[in-house]
Structures are given as structure tokens and as C-alpha cells.
Amino acid sequence: MAGSVQKDQQQVLGIIEQQTFHKEESEGNNNNNTTRTLLESDMAPTQGNSIHRSGSRPQLDVSKAEIQGNVEEKYPTILLPNQSDDLSHLALDIGGSLIKLVYFSRHEDQSADDKRKRSLKERLGLSNRRSYPILGGRLHFVKFETRKINECLDFIHSKQLHCGGLESHYSDGVPDQNGIIKATGGGAYKYADLFKERLGVSLDKEDEMDCLVAGANFLLKAIRHEAFTHMEGHKEFVQIEPNDLFPYLLVNIGSGVSMIKVDGDGKFERVSGTNVGGGTYWGLGRLLTKCKSFDELLELSQKGDNRTMDMLVGDIYGGLDYSKIGLSASTIASSFGKTISEKKELEEYRPEDISLSLLRMISYNIGQIAYLNALRFRLKRIFFGGFFIRGHAYTMDTISFAVHFWSNGEAQAMFLRHEGFLGALGAFMSYEKHGLDDLMVHQLVERFPMGAPYTGGKIHGPPLGDLNEKISWMEKFLQKGTEITAPVPMTPPAGTTGLGGFEVPLSKGSTLRSDASALNVGVLHLVPTLEVFPLLADPKLYEPNTIDLSNHSEFEYWLTILSEHLPDLVDKAVASEGGTDDAKRRGDAFARAFSAHLVRLMEEPSAYGKLGLANLLEMREECLREFQFVDAYRSIKQRENEASLAVLPDLLVELDSMDEESKLLTLIEGVLAANIFDWGSRACVDLYHKGTIIEIYRMSRNKMRRPWRVDDFDDFKKRMLGSGDKKKPSHKRALLFVDNSGADIVLGMLPLARELLRRGTEVVLVANSLPALNDVTAMELPDIVAEAAKHCDILRRAAEAGGLLVDAMINTSDSSKENSSSVPLMVVENGCGSPCIDLRQVSSELAAAAKDADLIILEGMGRALHTNLNARFKCDALKLAMVKNQRLAEKLVKGNIYDCICKYEPAS
């Protein structure tokens, strides 16, 4: 038996090796070490059944490995059930002031590989795409002050990051003396012995410039809206095409400043620098103001007035501009120039004014020198990085002004959201072929976990062991919130409501948060299975968000909507967990955490990057999941599905009695009417409290009088039914992006899918990968289809052909009618867990299904209005929705709440 197991494992290894090397050859890989490190004979000896290697892909555990499908196939699928999902990888940038960490953790949630999914993957040609575990996981960004290096070491030890290093060999969480962690910066030399003594690992030192450039190149090519401009307090995000990135000037502002001309990946040259940088600001500031930390000095500058210290052009010219040479009266003529003529001692000047004047002096000079170097090499694009900037408005404004002034507006200063982590990220990428360089912008999703609105490094260690510890920490944190300028729960004045029960303390509202830079970045989720939807007419022009939240009043309105919806959401979430005391406690903690996010965004809308409404809604769902509310509307969805399935047979009989034209109109009316069942809409929630779902459905159907607010039904009818003797062939495959559970899917979209199937069109139901509000998920759809198929031969035969009934038990009283040639009905997940969908990031399943599709139907507010209303496709597209928000109705279609949208667009 043991010999048989060993033989199976050797067979698995042989197949992996064969597929790995074939992948290298077919992709024309220039560096064969990318995957060969998995299997080379000179790799480290194995422990148990794991393959250890010097590369960075997760270690392969082939114990109980199973070859799925025919072993005679050239590239059969292999399941590795014991592959570890929690390996952590770490890299460091240890500077004179700060230690920056980038660490990677494997994704914990792996989707089930059931028979239905395997059948679908075979049909879509996905079954043989990969033979080894992909680099799916999360990239975390953390920092500590270098003087508190022991806290950093405690953090690394508490998360066992030193045990999972990419170059480490370990057993039972205990590193051996050969463990290696990549590191850069001067501290990699200075503290090497301390890391060896405390953690038992060696620091593999990487060149600082190499790391800075590698980190910057990766961020600018792989993260959407990484770069932004900042002028006079206004932040504007810039999307740069990877093929238009080079050349550029990278200005890294640390203790000193380095200026690097970057011509490509691995192609760069340090062209200049200055010893007047962040260390200068901190050193002089500490001497002049007695501030104990860099952040304290920055916070002082926010309250300062540099006009008391600096000599301005207007001071020289009697308050006038020097227009002849383009100098405004407010331009600084001489930093600290006024102190020459004033007979004051140092203690007579306000520390706040000193701090701001010093900040502007150093920032202005860095900006000027940067521009002169850009001019020297004819570079139009200048990126500034380094923790000196700290996301600080005055710093960025001053640098931007200097570049703009000296270039007469021809050059732009741009800043990076991950400004301080360039070196650490570059060191992380220096692990031998980790796979990051293969990732594209659509494969990274940024998330802002519960701690994001708070104080970054203050909460990073020790890590939270379990959920109860998290809630306990949250409760303690909120009690001390006023001390660290976090949102504080307050009782709103009579007759008013605060944002989610939170208000920002007036005394703290204008101050810089400690560690404000940590608020600008979240956790990067690396999902290699995400792809750009292939049917977008022009992916570069695609913008998912219909509503522009850069408009402050619009942003404030939707934050208020989210806040007002919060109590009802918490009630549903607690009820979904049985209403236990534990569920109530988690519900309260979720409400506090999400409210804190909203307050943070109300203070600074761009704190988390460029957000659309889709991002805000997804943040809410992520926050729910973080407090273990996996499906807040589970019980409601089940009740509504049952009620709707009970009346489906009668609806189908009614439809089958109609002529073709009446039936098509009734089907579209049914989709629009059923779309009213939306627990994400305040207006619809109010309706629920006034009647049963069937009553609401009947009322909604009675309002389906044409013309609708947007009414392209006649054009759609002409395509479907033809006109006169001209009848077009049926669509080959239709993608139906479904929305809510209950009546929406059962009485709306399934009857429409049935009609398409009857006409010979393959149908793919596209649903959420994860729950969001009462949206139906891809995991729930097969059971719903199975129940519906009990009453309909068309649905049954199509579901069987599409593999949907593999795992579902249904009554098949007339199996003689089975038709193996029936067109299939399939279900794919869309790759997201939000009420909205961004078609730049969809699952590989959906992307594969789309390649043969010639009709898209987007249904519901989230998919057809909030996002994708203006999206153009290569194939025919029908967008159906009932508008359930008055403001949205006015802005999008100049209409009213409950107006209907039937927007048909032929293939572009």
C-alpha cells in the first residue's frame, strides 16, 4: 500500500514537471528558473511529502494528491488537498528612521471543486490551465519606527513571518539556522546580528536602488490609481499605461534624497541627489521645536503660519506681485527671512510656524532640484516617494508648486500612495521568481480591513488571535479614541442623527492623524484568476462607476445613505446568526468599525484612493465578513425563494399561452417588476414592511405600463423576433448577469432564460461569488434551478446538459423526454462579492464563458445602473433595471423613483 501511494505521488510529480516545462516552452519564457525551481534535483532535501525549493512559489505538498480526469490525458488536472494555505513571506526595508515591512499571506478561502464546477470547467476549456498552486493571497504593508525595532521583531515573531520566509526551511513553525529574509536599507547591515539572535534568521541584503526602482515599477504598472497629483489641496488620480511609463524620474525622499532616472525594468541610473531631506527636517525641527517624533513635527506644521517666519515677494514689493517675472505676492522670497530683522529669541516664535516654514523650505528645494534634473534629461514625469511625504498636503502642495513654477506648467509632480514601501516591495520581489512580475492590474484588488481607519502601526502587533479578541480590542480602542484622534461614539443631539452614531471630535477634526500615511493603503489581494471581461468594446475607456463620487455633495449623499441603511443591515446580520448574544456583540462591533470607515472618508474622501460607489459597497461587505457575517440575508433569501418557486408553475403556464410578441413583452416586464425586491434600497425596505412579496410583485407588474423611462424594447423585439420576412438567427450564447434572490431570479430572470433556451440559445447565469445583501450567489443557483426544473422540461433538459443537476436531486417523472442535444444552461461566478460589478476584474470562468457569447443581459441597479450603464460591448447588450432611488432617477434619466430602464445596444 505504501509503495502504491509513493508511486502515485511520483506520478503526480512527473505530470507537474511535464506541465511546468511545457508551460515555459509554450509561453516563450526567457527565464526557465521561473518554475523549474519547483523540481530541480539539487533542491533542498524534502521533509515528509513537501517539496522545498529556493524559489518562492508556495511549497508543494503532494500528500494524498489526486489526479482528476483521465491520467492518459496530456495535461490532466491535479488536486493537492493538503497544500498549505497559510504560508507567509516577508521582506524588509530598514531605514534610519523607519522600518517598512511587506509580507504575503496565502488566501484562506479556497472554492470547492465539486462535480458541477469540474463539468463546467471542462465545457469552458478551463480544466487544464494550471498544474501547480497559483500565487493567490494578500500583500500587507506595515511600518515601525526604527528606534522601536524590538516591537517590529515582536510583530514578526507573533505572526511567525520568519518561519514562512520564501528562503526558509522549517518544521513545525521552528526556523533552522539557514532561514533567510530579504532586506534592504542601511539597517539590514546594522541590525543583522539582532535578527539572527532574536529570530534565528539571516538578512539577505539587497541593493537599495535596485529595490526602490523595482518597487516603483511594479506599483505603477500593476496597481490602478497608484499615482496622483496634488495641487492646492486637490488630489487627482492618474492612470498610466504600462507601455507609456518610461522614462521617468524617481525622487526618493528619505533621510537624504536620491534622484533616479528610470528607463525600464532593471534599467536605471542615479543622476543626482541632495543631503537636505527628511532627516534634515526632523533634525532641525527637533532642535528648534523640541518635538519628539517626526509625526509630531508634521502635526505642528498643520497649525502653523509660515508668513510669520518667511519673507514673501509681497513683503518686498509692498504687498504686490512681481508680475514681470511671474512671481505672486505669496511666493516665498526667503525662507526664515523675516527673522533677520526681528529682535526675537527662539522661544518667542511659535513652534507651529517654525515647523511649517522648515517644511516648505525643504520641500520647495527638493521640488526645484527634481525639476532641474528632469529638465536635464527631458523627462516630463516626476514621481516622488519616501516616508518624508507622509501623504501630507502641505508637503505635496509645496513640491508640486515648485515643479509647476520652474517648468512653467510643463512638468507634473506625481506622488505614490505606497510611497514609503518602494524599497520593501522591491526587496520582496527580489525573491527568485515569486510570480509577482506576472500579475496585471486587474489581478490586484485593494481591501481596507477594520483597522484601516485607525492608526496604522499602533495596531499592528501583537496580532489578533481570534474574533473575540478583535471585538475586545475594538471596544477598548473606542474608549480611548479621543486620545488618538479616532472617531468617537457620541449621542447625537435631540432631533439629529450622526453618521452611523459617530461624530468627529471638533477639537481633533483639523489635526493630522498620527501615522496618516498608513491610512492611504490597504491590503492588496492578489487574485491571478481575475481577468478583464473580453467583451468590453474598449477596456481602456471602460469606467464602471456611473456616478462620479469626486463631486463632494454626491460623495456625502451616498455616505449618508450607507449610514442610514446600517441599522437595518445589522438587524439582518444578527438575525442570520440566530440572534445570539455573540451575534449581537459582533453586529455592534461591525457597526462601529464600518461607521469609523465612513467618518474617515467623510473627513478625507480620497483617503483610500479613488473610490466609486461600487468600492464603498464592497467595503461594507468586506467589513461584514471580517466580523464573520458571511451571509447577512441568508434566511430572507431562503423564504423569498420558496415563496417565488411556489407560484412559478402558474407563471410559466400563463407565458406559454401567449403569442410570441406578447410573451417577449411580458418576460421583460416580469424582469423589471421582479427587480423591485432589493434589500439594498431604503424605499424597497419600506415597501417590505407594508405587504407580502407577492402583493408587492403584483403591484409592481401593474405599474409596467409603457413607455418606460428608457424604452428600447421595440429594437430588442426586432432583433429577437425579426420584422416581416427578415428573421435573424437566434443568439449563440447569452450571459445573464442576475441580481437578487427570490422573485427577481425565479419570476424574472429564469423565465427569460427559459425563453432563450427554447429558441436554441445557450444560457449562462452569471452570479456573485460571495454573498452581498440579498443578491443570489453562484453557489445557490443550482438548487434554485433544480427546484424550478421540477416544473419545466425545458429547464430540466438544459440544466442537465449544462451539468447543473449533477449534485441536485430532482423529480424526473418523464425522463423519456430527455434530450441530450438540448442547449445547456450553465452557472458561473463573476469573481466578486459586491452588489456592483467591475468588468475589469471578473473570474476566469466568466471570461472563458464570454468568448462565445453574443448577447449580454445586465439586470438590476448594481450591475446595470450604478455600474455599466454607459459600458459598451462587442456584442448585443440589454440593460434592465427599476430605479429605486429618487436622486439616482433624477441624475441618470431625469425621472422618478420606480421608473424602468430597458436599454438595448446592438454590438459595437
Question: Residues 124-178: pLDDT tens digits?
Answer: 766 544 433 445 788 888 888 888 899 889 888 877 888 754 334 444 444 444 5
Least confident of 70-79, 327-336, 419-428, 778-787: 70-79
pLDDT for 593 equals 82
Give the other-Cβ count within 10 Å of 239's Cβ. 11
Are 370 and 389 within 8 A, CB to CB? no
Give the other-Cβ count within 10 Å of 552's Cβ. 9
Phi, psi of 117 (to 5 degrees): -65, -40
CA 325 to chain CA centroid, nearest Å: 47
Query: Residue written as cell 483617503?
Result: 607
Cβ contacts of residue 888 below 8 Å, gap of 6+? 547, 861, 865, 866
The reply to whether 467 and 412 lie within a common domain is no
- Cα–Cα nearest to 397, from 345, 478, 330: 330
The count of residues in the chain is: 908
Would residue 476 count as lying in a domain? yes
In the chain, % helix, strand, coil (3-state, to 5) comes to 45, 20, 40
When pLDDT is cut at 50, 70 and 90, the band that residue 433 belongs to is: low
The model's pTM is: 0.81
Residue 253 in this model has a pLDDT that exceeds 60? yes
Residue with the bigger pLDDT between 502 and 235: it is 235
724-768 pLDDT per residue, tens? 667 889 999 999 999 999 989 999 999 999 999 999 999 999 999
The arithmetic mean of pLDDT across residues 480-489, rounded, is: 36
Would residue 556 count as lying in a domain? no
Query: What is the C-alpha separation between 170 and 48, in angstroms, rounded?
Result: 12
Rounded alpha-carbon distances, angstroms, from residue 659 to 233, 718, 901: 62, 15, 24
Would residue 449 count as lying in a domain? yes
The arithmetic mean of pLDDT across residues 860-881, rounded, is: 96
Cβ contacts of residue 552 below 8 Å, gap of 6+? 605
Give the other-Cβ count within 10 Å of 774's Cβ. 24
The arithmetic mean of pLDDT across residues 394-411, rounded, is: 89
903: β partners: 879
All three cell numbers of 45, joined, read 532535501
Are 904 and 715 within 8 A, CB to CB? yes
Helix ranges (H only) for 514-580 are 552-576
When pLDDT is cut at 50, 70 and 90, the band that residue 388 belongs to is: confident
- Cα–Cα nearest to 225, from 521, 537, 431: 521
Least confident of 314-323, 578-587, 779-788: 314-323
Query: What is the C-alpha separation between 738 and 744, in angstroms, rounded?
Result: 8
Are 428 and 165 within 8 A, CB to CB? no
> Does residue 645 sit in helix, strand or coil?
helix
pLDDT for 107 equals 60
When pLDDT is cut at 50, 70 and 90, the band that residue 12 belongs to is: low
Give the other-Cβ count within 10 Å of 563's Cβ. 21
User: If DSSP states are collapsed to H, E and C, what string results for 109-175?
Assistant: CCCCCCHHHHHHHHHHCCCCCCCCCCCCEEEEEEEEEHHHHHHHHHHHHHCCCCCCCCCCCEECCEE
Query: What is the C-alpha separation between 569 and 571, in angstroms, rounded?
Result: 5
Count: domains in the chain: 3
Residue 80 in this model has a pLDDT that exceeds 60? no
CATH number at residue 387: 3.30.420.40
354-375 pLDDT per residue, tens? 999 999 999 999 999 999 999 9
All three cell numbers of 286, joined, read 527637533
Residue 493 in this model has a pLDDT that exceeds 50? no
The reply to whether 729 and 701 lie within a common domain is yes
Would residue 503 count as lying in a domain? yes
- Any idea what DSSP says for residue 817? G
710-727 pLDDT per residue, tens? 999 999 999 999 876 678
Among 529, 556, 580, the domain-final residue is 529
Would residue 303 count as lying in a domain? yes
Helix ranges (H only) for 703-852 are 713-721, 743, 750-758, 781-789, 793-801, 844-850
Would residue 596 count as lying in a domain? no
Would residue 463 count as lying in a domain? yes
- Residue 361 sits in which domain range? 227-309+349-416
**How does strand 825-829 pair with strand 762-767?**
parallel
Residue 519 in this model has a pLDDT that exceeds 70? no
The reply to whether 256 and 355 lie within a common domain is yes
When pLDDT is cut at 50, 70 and 90, the band that residue 694 belongs to is: low
pLDDT for 230 equals 93
Residue 462 in this model has a pLDDT that exceeds 50? no
When pLDDT is cut at 50, 70 and 90, the band that residue 483 belongs to is: very low
pLDDT for 627 equals 87
Phi, psi of 890 (to 5 degrees): -70, -45
pLDDT for 28 equals 42
The reply to whether 522 and 407 lie within a common domain is no
Cβ contacts of residue 135 below 8 Å, gap of 6+? 57, 58, 434, 435, 436, 439, 526, 528
Phi, psi of 675 (to 5 degrees): -70, -5
The reply to whether 687 and 786 lie within a common domain is yes
Query: What is the C-alpha separation between 304 and 667, in angstroms, rounded?
Result: 65
Q: How many CA atoms lie within 13 A of 596 on its CB side?
A: 26
The reply to whether 203 and 267 lie within a common domain is no
The reply to whether 465 and 412 lie within a common domain is no
Are 784 and 745 within 8 A, CB to CB? yes
Highest mean pLDDT among 42-51, 72-81, 285-294, 386-395: 285-294
Taking only Cα atoms into account, the Rg of the chain, rounded to an integer number of angstroms, comes to: 30
- Cα–Cα nearest to 384, from 227, 208, 255, 520: 227
When pLDDT is cut at 50, 70 and 90, the band that residue 437 belongs to is: low
pLDDT for 504 equals 33
The reply to whether 470 and 354 lie within a common domain is no
Residue 346 in this model has a pLDDT that exceeds 80? yes
Mean confidence (pLDDT) of the chain: 79
The reply to whether 203 and 232 lie within a common domain is no
The reply to whether 682 and 787 lie within a common domain is yes
> Does residue 269 sit in helix, strand or coil?
strand
Are 595 and 570 within 8 A, CB to CB? no
Residue with the bigger pLDDT between 679 and 99: it is 99
173-205 pLDDT per residue, tens? 444 445 889 999 999 999 999 999 999 999 999
Residue with the bigger pLDDT between 881 and 5: it is 881
Among 463, 498, 529, the domain-final residue is 529
Residue 472 in this model has a pLDDT that exceeds 90? no
Would residue 535 count as lying in a domain? no
Among 501, 529, 557, the domain-final residue is 529
Cβ contacts of residue 363 below 8 Å, gap of 6+? 394, 395, 398, 399, 402
Give the other-Cβ count within 10 Å of 349's Cβ. 19
Query: What is the C-alpha separation between 12 and 81, in angstroms, rounded?
Result: 13
Are 734 and 762 within 8 A, CB to CB? yes
The reply to whether 398 and 447 lie within a common domain is no
Query: What is the C-alpha separation between 388 and 72, in angstroms, rounded?
Result: 60
Query: What is the C-alpha separation between 125 and 851, in angstroms, rounded?
Result: 11
- Cα–Cα nearest to 454, from 472, 474, 469: 474
pLDDT for 450 equals 63
The reply to whether 384 and 455 lie within a common domain is no
CATH number at residue 708: 3.40.50.10880
Query: Residue written as cell 537624504?
Result: 256
Cβ contacts of residue 762 below 8 Å, gap of 6+? 732, 733, 734, 823, 824, 825, 826, 852
Residue 30 in this model has a pLDDT that exceeds 70? no
pLDDT for 517 equals 43
Q: How many CA atoms lie within 13 A of 872 on its CB side?
A: 8
The arithmetic mean of pLDDT across residues 304-317, rounded, is: 90
The arithmetic mean of pLDDT across residues 859-863, rounded, is: 94
Highest mean pLDDT among 96-100, 251-255, 672-676, 702-706: 251-255
Least confident of 56-60, 513-517, 655-659: 56-60
Helical pair 467-479 and 581-603, crossing angle rounded to 10 deg: 50
Highest mean pLDDT among 208-222, 292-306, 452-466: 208-222
